[in-house]
Chain A
């Protein structure tokens, strides 16, 4: 919610600032929000944000209203020490100060209202995780972080080249949310052996394309009818830190039963340094250490949510409880029973209706790749579960 609020506040900045640093400002906000927890740190955080807005908004708008190029190089004085030019001269005008004060007060009121309302009125961004537990948490969510970012991308920045044209087409296809169209685009439009285009759907990808140009795609695969996995081996020719390094991205695009794109996420990322500056062999095949084979797609009419397996109410009720996962973020899952149905709720996420495939294995509604399987001990007591999301698994222990 707070991120959505700050995204709105960012719109107060001039277009140039937003285009150049909007994503970075948002990322910084997100980092601070995540790391400054607790009453006092959070109060201090918002105070910082409000003061920052009040000061920097005035400065950026003054800048935007002025014309004239920045000096191309740093001039030197007689001692040889260059000067630093700043973007202001003297104090801001009274008008600017009044505008800054007024905007700060408006922002303060909005934030206060949002804080009091408990953060439920503004839709938030789907989480993007770093740890396996967070990744699973994000994957379990039915939201789509990357779809959200796509809307912010400014395609007008792309150059007028064939590769950029393909890149733009890909954006347009993704924007429709039509999984079949996207699958068609990758399987028919692109030639994986020769195509030079960067896969991306966020404004940062547009920026990378502009700065470093297109990259080579070496492979992609369609895992099943409802899931597309793009395995990209690209050469980061523009990287300063690792010139010509090979980078492996694995992106998963999943469709819901109506063939709409329901989720897109990075599921792995890897880097291989070149063996020398001149010799740049393609990397060998890679293996993901903790990934299981993909589930087969359910044939039409056979998915658990379409044709659920019948499980006795007493069995379903025996699963009710809280299950703790041994993950870095100490996530847990709440299993509940209502009116003959089983529901699960992962930490901080919405409740999901689960449908049985067997007496112990349940699938999330509309999802092939998300399931849980309960485990019992020798006495028949339910002791835990395994949560599987796109092949990644976490084991949860039932809380006593």
Chain B
């Protein structure tokens, strides 16, 4: 299967990694966290979310866990996801890359002061 190396990360994948940086989340919580991180501009649908989740799982950037303590009567079992150390490394590298770009943009006076 032909594949393309993407560096930087796809935006959706980066946001999913960031959403898992400080907590384990299930699909809907990831979607909400990503929406919150992006000010509501990125609202992941089921197809996009789980397609990205599968890629991240296969690449070992996140792992699936079972969070029994959160389940309530009548609820279906949910899959929770956790950031792996490789995923954290990737997310950090991407954040640093974006920070570098921000510094350049600031130097070029493309941004107003509120972005500083």
Contacts and interface: CB of A to CB of B under 8 A. Distances in A.
A56 B7 contact: no
A54 to B, nearest CB: 9
B54 A20 contact: yes
A239 B66 contact: yes
A21 B31 contact: no
Nearest to B70: A241
B68 A238 contact: no
A307 interface: no
Interface string A73-109: 1100000011111111110000000000000000000
Given A51-B45, A60-B51, A271-B69, A28 B28 contact: yes
Interface in A17-72: 17, 20-21, 23-29, 31-32, 44, 48-49, 51-53, 55-57, 59-60, 63, 66-71
B3 A241 contact: no
Contact of A271 (B10, B60, B68): B68
Chain B: number of interface residues, binned into ranges: 35 or more
A82 to B, nearest CB: 6
Contacts of B74: 128-130, 134-135, 138, 265-266
B102 to A, nearest CB: 19
Contacts of B75: 128, 130, 266
A89 B2 contact: yes
Contacts of A84: 5-7, 9-10, 13, 55, 59, 61, 90
Instruction: State the main secondary structure of chain B at its contact with A.
Output: mixed
A74 B59 contact: yes
Contacts of B68: 236, 239, 241-242, 245, 247, 271
Contacts of A83: 5-7
Given A68-B1, A86-B4, A204-B76, A25 B47 contact: yes
B3 A59 contact: no
A70 B86 CA distance: 17
Chain A: number of interface residues, binned into ranges: 35 or more
A89 B27 CA distance: 26
Contacts of B78: 24, 27
Contact of A27 (B27, B61, B71, B86): B27
Most B Cβ at <10 Å: residue of A20, A60, A86, A202: A86
B50 A73 contact: no
B73 A266 contact: yes
Interface in A152-201: none
B90 A25 contact: no
Contacts of A28: 27-28, 31, 46, 49-50
A138 B74 CA distance: 9
B93 interface: yes
B100 to A, nearest CB: 14
Contacts of B7: 81, 83-84
A32 B28 contact: yes
Interface in B59-101: 59-61, 65-69, 71-79, 86, 89-90, 93
A60 B76 contact: no
A89 B4 contact: yes
Interface of B: 1-7, 9-10, 13, 27-28, 31, 43-51, 53-55, 58-61, 65-69, 71-79, 86, 89-90, 93
29 contacts: A17-B50, A17-B51, A21-B46, A24-B79, A25-B47, A27-B27, A28-B50, A31-B28, A52-B46, A56-B46, A59-B47, A60-B51, A67-B1, A81-B89, A83-B5, A84-B6, A84-B7, A85-B5, A85-B6, A85-B55, A86-B3, A86-B4, A89-B4, A130-B75, A204-B77, A205-B77, A241-B68, A247-B68, A271-B68
